[in-house]
Structure 1
Amino acid sequence: MRKKITLIVSLLAVLLLSGCWDVTEPQRMYYVDGIGIDYKDGQYEIYMQIINFANVAKSEAPTPQAAPSEIGFAKGKTMEEAFFKLYRSIDQKVFWGHMTFLLFTEDALKNENAIPVIDSFLRHRETRYQILTFCTKEPIKDILLVTPLLNKSLTASKLSNPMHTKELQTFVEPVDLRKLIIDLNEPSHEVNIPSVAINKNWETTDGPTTETALTGFGIVSKNGFKGYLNDGDARGIQWMYDKKTRGDVTIKLDNKENDHLTVDLEKLSTEIKPIVKNNKVTFEADIKLNAIINGFEGKVSTDEIRKGIIKEVKKDIKKSYAGGLKIDVDVFRLSEHLYRKDVKTWKKIQKDGKIPLTEDTLSKINITVNKVNPGRKTFAETIKE
């Protein structure tokens, strides 16, 4: 009798246990890694990059016969219509939980075209606020078909994980959907989105190859796309971030016509202070840096290096600020700094969330180089002539 009761209880327990009968097996799903968005002739053009996870766990020895990804294409009057057209040619369930980036063309960012796209991804229950955003002048399909160096998995690509190179250089800071929304909702209602280009500096034994590179910023406001700041015009922005960054400058040595020195810089802090006088606002920036010297020729002093660093960093900042003024962009978000520290003055002079900026608004740039590390205990040359 006791055995019968035990059997009945066991059967009831099995029946009452919640099962996973309605869960799709991982190998029976397609995983979206990134989405490209273009806008032409009144229609959204979408590119869906489906990643092959066969190479993810085997990054040291990828499966040669497995394609790293496939790109699907469709277009429609709305983004959702384009996706449903693409679904007709997909033979497995699509999982969006591993999506890592959105890539926009300039046309997709113009005239508020990007706003409904961003809103749609935020409303989808499988996507996250950590999705990274990029823009490009290149054809989206060409960008998405680029594979990482040495045929690594696409999860290690520049678009999927730009933080891999952050320890080398923080020239362009990644922007996810969370930061994009915050910056668009706060003064000056503009955001610097990293711009991506195809780099052709690499080769293999089979011939030239390509890689993606972050080359600057595309600036977007609530009203649409405002323009690009590329390479040289964008370099000063890294020194004006609130958080730590790492970069480099090349300085010309005193009294030496052709001698230059490249210095690694770690930005420790940046403080931007608004100065209000008679409802006129100017700003002072205080920047603290550490420097590391990789190699040099001849005799060089720390004072000479400090002087060169200060000159070049100031030049970078002024060039980025001037580039922003040309396209009516507050690249250093000075409007937000005033809003945070003196909202009464900000309300008096702001227009559509921005304060008027001139060449003299950024009135003073103070740069302090705390340490100059020669990499060794002395500034003497390692190899003497």
Structure 2
Amino acid sequence: MKLTALALCLPLLWGCWDSTDIQQENIHIAEVIDYQDGEYHFYGEVADLGGQSRKGGAGGQGNLNFSIIKASGETYTQARDDLNRKSSRPVYLGALKVLIFTDRLAFQDVEEYLNRSRTQRNTRKSLKIITSADEPEDLLKAELDNASSVGLAIDNIQDNLMKEGSSFFVDIGDLLEALAVKKVGFLIPAMGVVDSHITLTGYTVFENGKKVGFIPQDQRRGVVFFLNPHGSFHYEVILNSNRYELDVTLNNKKITTTYADEELMIQIQMGFKAVLNYASTAQPATIGDREALQRLLEEAVLQDIVQALDTSQKEYALDYLGIYRYFRAQHNSTFKTIDWKQAYSEAMTEVTTDVTLVRSELPQEP
């Protein structure tokens, strides 16, 4: 009965394989890559078809259980070989849900691993990547509410945050593109165990494949508006001693760049839709109230966007917000020769925001 349940469960998660394929592969769901004491360390979260692992039966995965395989070596090749030798079946990476870089590896360098992924068997360019400051075994042994696998849990969290607009995810293809450009940086979402739950903690800032900084999650709103086309957050504003709560969602974005006399100008226009959900004092919202709320929200959103720009330009002198894509599309020949890092860090910026209150859950005066 157990094998029957697994045969039904696995195709739902990773596609339809026949039972022979399932029995003959060590199916990795998550991998953690670490660097410590001069060695690379691999931790694989593996679907355990024998049902002997420490986990099982939670989150709708039936009898699917998971175990952890650890391996190490002085090089990536040696670490991968050690992992293969410790695996009871051939390692299958095509079902990987998430690749996790530890902070130690992030400071060391992630570019070599990403470049190796181009030729690594079964590794998909669409594979999500996160970083974590947690110890690998602590993360992989975290208690989970609605999943039996850390890899599945992280994948679900990343998807949900992207869909609701409060974060974004990156995959191998995204990072390989940024590394190929060489003039830009990139962000990788960071996750860890907080209050016994796996959660988004912020974003790790990378330049030339190495960690150079960190943006905490409570400073992420402006960043997300650049990197998620449907960015959406809850805002609170005070008007006439009344506290209002609204959902503000990015509706449109236009970024225009000009370059003349070796000076870069970046003009950013973002439009938002807002929904009024709550007021601390229940009273009808007048037309004047709605107009005033729109102005307050425009200022609040503007501050978040400007903060994100200032941090990237002044603190890191690094374009990890994707502005280069607009400049390259608008001035391709110039982009090939320009010192983009310097031009971006010294660029003049002009940001305008527009917020339209499209719906209110509160009573309104005519």
User: Which TM-score tier does this pair reach, normalised by the shorter chain?
Assistant: 0.7 to 0.9
Letter in 2 for 1:199: V
What's the CA shift string for 1:5-53, capped at 9, x where partnerless? xxxxxxxxxxxxxxxxxx9441343210111111123211111111347
Q: Is the 8 A contact 1:96 1:126 kept in 2?
A: yes
Give TM-score scaled by structure 1 length: 0.78
State the partner residue of 2:16.
none
> 1:188 Cα deviation (Å)?
3.6
Write the distance in 2 (CA, Å) between the matches of 1:36 and 1:118: 13
> 1:247 Cα deviation (Å)?
2.2
State the partner residue of 1:27.
23
Q: Which SS does the other structure have where 2:319 is aligned?
A: coil
> 1:285 Cα deviation (Å)?
0.7
Write the distance in 1 (CA, Å) between the matches of 2:201 and 2:157: 16
> 1:318 Cα deviation (Å)?
1.8
State the partner residue of 1:103.
100
State the partner residue of 1:6.
none
Task: List aligned pairs for 1:110-189, cutoff 5 A.
Answer: 110-111=107-108, 113-152=109-148, 154=150, 156-159=152-155, 162-168=158-164, 170-186=165-181, 188-189=183-184
Q: Is the 8 A contact 2:128 2:171 kept in 1?
A: yes
Q: Which has the larger share of helix? A: 2
> 1:224 Cα deviation (Å)?
2.0
Structure number with larger C-alpha Rg = 1
State the partner residue of 1:321.
309
State the partner residue of 1:219.
205
What's the CA shift string for 1:148-169, capped at 9, x where partnerless? 324455564124662134333x
Which residue, out of 267, 272, 281, partners 1:284? 267
Write the distance in 2 (CA, Å) between the matches of 1:187 and 1:293: 43
Write the distance in 2 (CA, Å) between the matches of 1:117 and 1:84: 15
What's the CA shift string for 1:78-129, capped at 9, x where partnerless? 1221122233332233222101211112231235x31221222321232211
Could you tell me which runs of 5 or more consecutive residues in structure 2 were left unpaired when the two chains were aligned.
1-18
State the partner residue of 1:199.
194
Write the distance in 2 (CA, Å) between the matches of 1:73 and 1:242: 35
Could you tell me which runs of 5 or more consecutive residues in structure 1 were left unpaired when the two chains were aligned.
1-22, 201-209, 381-385
CA RMSD of aligned residues (A): 2.9
Give TM-score scaled by structure 2 length: 0.82
Q: Is the 8 A contact 2:32 2:42 kept in 1?
A: yes
Q: Is the 8 A contact 1:229 1:323 kept in 2?
A: no
User: Identity of aligned pairs, percent?
Assistant: 16
Instruction: Quickly say closer, same or farther: Cα 1:45–1:246, change in 2 above 3 A.
Output: same
Which residue, out of 204, 207, 219, partners 1:233? 219
Letter in 1 for 2:190: S
Q: Is the 8 A contact 2:275 2:359 kept in 1?
A: yes
State whether structure 2 residue 358 is matched by structure 1 residue 379.
no
Instruction: Quickly say closer, same or farther: Cα 1:131–1:33, change in 2 above 3 A.
Output: same
> 1:342 Cα deviation (Å)?
2.0
Write the distance in 2 (CA, Å) between the matches of 1:120 and 1:346: 28
Number of aligned residues: 338
Q: Greater shift after overlay, 85-94 or 277-286?
A: 85-94
Q: Which SS does the other structure have where 1:354 is aligned?
A: helix
Write the distance in 2 (CA, Å) between the matches of 1:45 and 1:27: 26
What's the CA shift string for 1:277-322, capped at 9, x where partnerless? 4331121111011111221133442112211211111111122222
